[in-house]
Amino acid sequence: MNEAGEAPELGSYWVGQGGIYAGIRHYPDGPYHLIVSSDELGDFAWGSTRTRTTASSRINGVLNTTTLLETEGEFPAATAAGNYTADGRYDFYLPSIGELHQVWQYLPNLILEGTYWSSSQRSENHAFCMLFGSGYQFNYEKNSELCVRPFRRLPIR
């Protein structure tokens, strides 16, 4: 059980939780419900090229986003996702490449096309992104503008 009661059906809007239910995801500190905002925020750059951060987790978007927001410099995609609110929830983040992949696997009709930034850095000049039409994951130049879709997660207790 969790603080919000029972989860809705996969792919349904979770009233009071700010988005669409994307299932359970396991992290090193335990299982969480994954929630995807119903809003796409538009196109943003990931950040400046020639900037290396420690936001390199392929599974933990919360850790990556927190790292980016606490790092000197500008990270527009992470800032946009971190500033997003819905249903009174303020804990949204830019998803990791693994979290994006889960949505592509389990909710193929939620995001039909477009290339979305993850919070997972590849190198000082590139970060991982995903082309939703095909599920293709690749890395792209950080100063390019791609789609941003905020996620949040809710611990299962």
What is the mean pLDDT of the segment spanning 13-35?
96
Instruction: Please provide the DSSP assignment of 53-114 as one string.
Output: -S---SS-HHHHHHHHHHSSS--HHHHHHHH--BTTB---BPPPHHHHHHHHHH-TTTS-S-
> How many helices (H) and strands (E) would you count in the chain?
3, 9
Please state, rounded to an integer, the average pLDDT across all residues of the chain: 94
What is the mean pLDDT of the segment spanning 25-39?
96
Question: Which domains are seen in the chain, by residue range?
Answer: 13-155 (3.10.100)
pTM: 0.95
pLDDT, position 1: 42
pLDDT at 10 over 90: yes
What is the mean pLDDT of the segment spanning 16-34?
96
Residue-wise pLDDT tens digits, 44-88 = 999 988 888 999 999 999 999 999 999 999 999 999 999 999 999
pLDDT, position 45: 98
